[in-house]
Amino acid sequence: MVFPFQSIEDFKVEITEEHELFRKMVREFVEEKVIPRWQEVERENKFPDEILEGMKEMGLFGVGVPEEYGGQGGGQVLTAILMEELARGIPSLAVNLGVNHLYMIPILLFGNEEQKKKYVTPVAMGEKRGAHANTEPGAGSDVAGIQTKAKKVNDHYVISGRKIFISGAEEADYLIVSARTSPPGEKRWQGISVFIVEKDWPGVEIGQKFNVIGMRGEQPNEVILDEVKVPAENLVGQEGMGFKVIVTTYDHTRIGIAAQAVGIGQAAFEKALNYALQRYTFGQPLISYQAIQFKLADMYMKLEASRLLTLWAASLADQGRSEFIIASSLAKAFSTEAAEWIARQAVQIHGGYGADWEMGVERYLRDAVITTIYEGTNEIQRLTIIRSLLRQAFGLRV
């Protein structure tokens, strides 16, 4: 019984030798260039230029982007592998790369050829940076609640509003911005449009940085839009159809969040296992106690289940299967909650050292909490799961 899927073959995950070679390349970079500098990133709350330049030289900003737009090609599986390996080192580094995907994907899926060449190519090549400005004080997971206004005036739009919790806003050259071009129609989601905004245009201001619980190095900012004049040709897709642009983008990018969580879980598990092997209490190695063995076994089970779910969702997306939407929500909700639980157990296994910043364990717990919230809270993922299930299996819309 594979309900609501059609066949047992729907659960196949395609991994190639090229995927493994790529993973090893990224792992080497992370081990040599990223992990040794995690304390610096935590203290300074930003990434050293050398790390970002290294990612640019390796073409990592263009993974998952077609070569004709400056990318390296590859699909969701390759992107998930990249996200996991970066997050294993410093989780916020995966966010640094992920915000570019949040910016590029709506243009790649709904933009015209001119927009792709002008606004995707330099970001995929690592020459420019992008960010995704959707969340507002009264609208986050509820995309239909957007209140930012965009008024059409001759050959341009004038946008005013306030966006919050925008990752990558400080470094971004370009922003994807959602705004209302008309009041809600029969459905609340009607009347939202999406625009490409250049950050140096008059009226764009990067406001306060939010000191959130985790993701040091890539914490979000407020974006203020005060009568920003945007050319009409910077409208992405059709006017009034921006809700579809935004939620379709999240269908794709939440796989990357699941992969981030897998990387966090992997790092926390490795640290806990190594500590349990080395630490002695009451004359015995910590790993000799059954309570610790059971914790580690449970951590490992959740970790591998998370990885398989994530790669499965990525495989379905690469195949162009509509079922990837439910799979991506399954992967995002399960993997992020598993990462939070695994990180919590890692802290517990380390005892007092686990709560010490210098040990570098508690940061994984802080970062894991964030993954359960952004790009659709896990409560929203559960709604997506059941609604997709009913639609896929019975044709029902609730």
Tell me the pLDDT tens digit for each residue of 121-166: 999 999 999 999 999 999 988 899 999 999 999 999 999 999 999 9
Contact 158, 229 (CB under 8 A): yes
Class of domain 131-241: mainly beta
Provide the CATH number for the domain formed by 8-128 in this structure: 1.10.540.10
Q: How far apart are CA 228 and CA 295, in angstroms?
A: 53
Residue 184 has pLDDT above 80, yes or no: yes
Can you give the residue ranges of every domain in the chain?
Answer: 8-128, 131-241, 244-394
Residues involved in catalysis:
375
At 317, phi and psi to the nearest 5? Answer: -65, -40
Contact 246, 236 (CB under 8 A): no
* Average pLDDT, rounded, for the chain: 96
Q: How far apart are CA 144 and CA 146, in angstroms?
A: 6
325-376 pLDDT, tens digit each? 999 999 999 999 999 999 999 999 999 999 999 999 999 999 999 999 998 8
1 — pLDDT class (breaks 50, 70, 90) = low
User: Where do we find the tokens 């790993």?
Assistant: 287
Fold of the domain spanning 244-394: Butyryl-CoA Dehydrogenase, subunit A; domain 3 (1.20.140)
Angle in degrees, CA 232, 236, 242, rounded to 5: 115
Query: For the whole prediction, is pTM greater than 0.85?
Result: yes
